A = this chain, B = another copy of it.
Amino acid sequence: MSVPSGVEGFDRVVDGGLPEGRLYVVCGPPGSGKTTFSAQFIAAGATADERCLFISMHESRDDIARDMAGYEFGFDDALDSGRVTFLDAFSSDGQRFFGMPGDRRDTGSITNRITSFVDSRDVDRVVIDSTMLLRYFTDDDDGTMIRFLSALKRTDATTFLISEMTDPRAYADEHYLAHGVVFFHNYMDDGEMRRGVQVVKMRGRDVDTDIHDLRFTPAGLVVDAPETAAR
């Protein structure tokens, strides 16, 4: 089954929606739209009465509510609906969940806490913003990302894992481990900065891998994909 992304035009790129229960890595440079994309995904879930979890290293609940208040996709309503658990990693709730900053735990315990939460509450949609969480709360080694993603892939939730990249020319383990990879692009075109989105990988589906224009509109992010984009 397919899950609607909540982003106008995007579902056409992935041939009707995101395969359910899978793990998607969302990556791109700073300011490229990764968080807004994820917020629309959560809002669409809450609207459909699904259970949602949003874990953030970057935003408090108040900050993200304020950031998304300018858009009409109803993120505020989602937060108030009782369907969305928002976990700010630096709040006191967050610290109970992940440990005190600087008091590093092993990947296993953080992974277990997230997957137990997801499994025990039948969470449908998860956003984790971002992989920086692993570098901050665990003693990061070669196996950390492998272990973390492999566990997330085994839950029943449809999960977005936001991934920062320092070197845009290289691939990372999470790109290989995820079921799907969505890149957000900022690129110069004729002296002007343009935005784009590209699905470079989607297991089990022959998706459209071209770069499509992405616009911020009052309704949130909109992808300019033709009706017949997916091949």
Asked if A143 and B101 make an inter-chain contact with CB atoms under 8 angstroms apart, the answer reads yes
The interface on chain A, measured as residues whose beta carbon lies within 8 A of the other chain's beta carbons, has a size of: 62
Asked if B30 and A175 make an inter-chain contact with CB atoms under 8 angstroms apart, the answer reads yes
Across-interface contacts of A227 in B (CB, < 8 A): none
Asked if B173 and A35 make an inter-chain contact with CB atoms under 8 angstroms apart, the answer reads no
Segment from A4-12, A45-53, A119-127, A132-140 that makes contact with B:
A132-140
A70 to chain B, nearest CB (A): 6
Q: Could you say how many copies of this chain the assembly holds?
A: 6
Given A29-B200, A171-B30, A181-B31, CB of A143 within 8 Å of CB of B102: yes
Does residue A201 face the partner (Cβ distance < 8 Å to B)? yes
Across-interface contacts of A136 in B (CB, < 8 A): 142-143, 146-147
Does residue A113 face the partner (Cβ distance < 8 Å to B)? no
Across-interface contacts of A200 in B (CB, < 8 A): 29-31, 186
Across-interface contacts of A40 in B (CB, < 8 A): none
Q: In A150-183, which residues have CB < 8 Å from any B CB? A: 150, 153-154, 164-173, 175-179, 181
Distance, CA A198 to CA B222, complexed state (A): 23
Given A108-B102, A154-B60, A164-B171, CB of A30 within 8 Å of CB of B70: no
Does residue A67 face the partner (Cβ distance < 8 Å to B)? yes
Most chain B CB neighbours (cut-off 10 Å) among A68, A136, A205: A136
